[in-house]
Amino acid sequence: MLTKINHIGIAVISLDEALLFYRDNLGMAFKGIEEVAEQKVKVAMLQIGEAKIELLEPTSPDSPVAKFLEKNGPGIHHLAYEVENIVQAIARLEQDGARMIDRTPRNGAHGTRIAFVHPKSSGGVLTELCQADHCR
């Protein structure tokens, strides 16, 4: 069902500040910044081999990332896996009793179709499914 890790999402207070470390100090290839209105975040993507690091800055106090930062401070927010067919992947997980946050795919960064699994049914790790056709 899963093909590879697409990205690791990291919650940050400021993209500009975080980029000083990831882009400038670590030297990762910076792919640009995009606002994902539906998720109330601004996203900076950095390529590392086949996978990406996704820096997430909230754009509103009621953003899921703002809530995460308030509770935990900056740090790893979610892990995203590519799937071949996101609708089938959601159906399979639901059939197996997983608690889906998104029962139908929604819009992610760079035109992707995404769906989240609740961390309470994935061992405490907020897990994102991302359809492969749209992830490249």
Residues contacting 74, CB < 8 A, separation 6+: 10, 11, 12, 13, 18
Q: Least distance (Å) from ligand CMX to the CB of residue 42?
A: 10
Taking the least distance from each CB to ligand CMX, the nearer of 29 and 76 is 76
DSSP alpha helices (H): ranges in the chain?
A: 15-19, 64-72, 86-95, 132-135
61 contacts ligand CMX (rule: CB under 6 A)? no
Q: Which residues pair with 54 in a beta bridge?
A: 9, 45
52 contacts ligand CMX (rule: CB under 6 A)? no
Taking the least distance from each CB to ligand CMX, the nearer of 28 and 34 is 34
Signed CA dihedral, 102, 105, 107, 113: sign only? positive
Chain residues in the site for ligand CMX (CB under 6 A): 9, 36, 39, 41, 54, 56, 64-65, 67-68, 77-78, 101, 108-109, 116, 118-119, 124, 126
